[in-house]
Amino acid sequence: MRVSRCLFVFALVLGVPARQTFAQSEIGAQIRALNWEEGPTTAELGKMATIEVPEGFQFVGKPGASKFMELLQNPSDGDELGVLLNVEDGWFVVFDFSDMGYVKDDDKDDLDAKAILESIREGTEASNKIRAKRGWPTLSVVGWHEEPYYDADTNNLTWSIRGSSDDGESINHSTRMLGRRGVMRANLVTSAEEIDAALPVFNEMLGAFEFTSGNKYSEFTRGDKVAEYGLAGLIVGGAGVALVKSGLLQKFGKLIVVGVVALLGFLKKLFSGLTGRQTADSANV
């Protein structure tokens, strides 16, 4: 099903030059053209898992999710399996899967938040070099919004990073769901002002997340591929100089940049006036 509402997920600023407004309109058209599904529905995250899409949300799977990230000026590594967008408040969740293998959780009691934060800063700086070359905005790491913690019952690892860009502060709230063959990454991107309201909804949605049969963490069997690093490595992509040389630090340590402050304000105004089912082209933007 095509998206029933107009989806503008970029920093829209009133009074910008006509050329910039035209460029934003073009981006909006490309976002609307993605194969969005409207909730409530059950969405597939590749062949690895499923997620329930609640009412008031839109979902786009692969390859639309990767295109969505590029349109938001975030380098895509091609691993994105889906994007969940809250059409009322504008925040969104990006799902991607890494087939790194079974991640042992032996280090669950030894997560060094200070050292991990420094590694994330290094990864973000590496990613910023790519952004700068493309003329995209860069991001600086302010600090933890929520230090890493691991839930041994659900095999979920969670943390939140507070980032800053020219458009203000944003929160990258991340949960890693451990599976038999790798890790599903769920990244919630929202503003600092919206995080408290978004988190309960985000956590409820993750409660309906499920790995498909044969891919659950509990289904690990001897002989399966085992990841080269543990829980701390999931946050920064590993540890040490070898990561920088291999490019893994840049891949896993990067944060998502988006003009959150201007973006969310615009989306709230846009969607608050839309009721019922409408076609993408019927919204006046």
Note the pLDDT tens digit of each residue in 68-85: 888 776 667 778 899 998
Cα separation of 281 and 103, whole Å?
A: 45
Which tens digit of pLDDT belongs to each residue from 110-135?
Answer: 888 887 788 778 777 777 787 788 78
User: What per-residue confidence (pLDDT) applies to 22?
Assistant: 39
pLDDT higher than threshold 90 for residue 201: yes
Q: Please choose, from the candidates 72, 96, 74, the residue with its C-alpha nearest in 3D space to the C-alpha of residue 83.
A: 96
pTM over 0.85: no
Strand blocks (E) in the chain: 37-38, 41-45, 49-53, 57-61, 80-86, 92-98, 140-151, 156-165, 168-178, 183-191, 210-211
Question: Alpha-carbon dihedral of residues 272, 277, 281, 285, nearest 10 degrees?
Answer: 0
Which tens digit of pLDDT belongs to each residue from 172-185?
Answer: 788 999 999 999 98
Name every residue whose Cβ is closer than 8 Å to that of residue 212 and which is 6 or more positions away in sequence: 47, 48, 49, 50
Q: Give the pLDDT band of residue 216 (cuts 50, 70, 90).
A: very high
Q: Give the pLDDT band of residue 45 (cuts 50, 70, 90).
A: very high
For residues 180 and 102, the answer to whether their CB atoms sit within 8 Å is: yes
Task: Kindly give the interhelix angle for 18-32 and 64-71, rounded to the nearest 10 degrees.
Answer: 170
Least confident window among 18-27, 71-80, 96-105: 18-27
Reduced to 3 states (helix: H, G, I; strand: E, B; else coil), residue 229 is coil
Residue tagged 């498909």 (tokens)? 212
Q: Give the pLDDT band of residue 222 (cuts 50, 70, 90).
A: very high
Q: Please choose, from the candidates 125, 131, 188, 127, the residue with its C-alpha nearest in 3D space to the C-alpha of residue 160.
A: 188
Strands across the sheet containing 168-178: 37-38, 57-61, 80-86, 92-98, 183-191, 168-178, 156-165, 140-151
The number of angstroms, rounded, from the C-alpha of 260 to the middle of its chain's C-alpha atoms is: 13
Residue tagged 């408290």 (tokens)? 196
Q: Give the pLDDT band of residue 101 (cuts 50, 70, 90).
A: very high
User: What per-residue confidence (pLDDT) applies to 260?
Assistant: 45
Q: Is the dihedral of CA 132, 258, 62, 215 positive or negative?
A: positive
DSSP state of 133: H
The domains of the chain, with CATH numbers, are 18-269 (3.40.1000.10)
Rounded percentage of the chain residues whose pLDDT exceeds 90: 31
Cα separation of 68 and 124, whole Å?
A: 20
Q: Give the pLDDT band of residue 167 (cuts 50, 70, 90).
A: low
Which tens digit of pLDDT belongs to each residue from 28-44?
Answer: 667 777 888 989 999 99
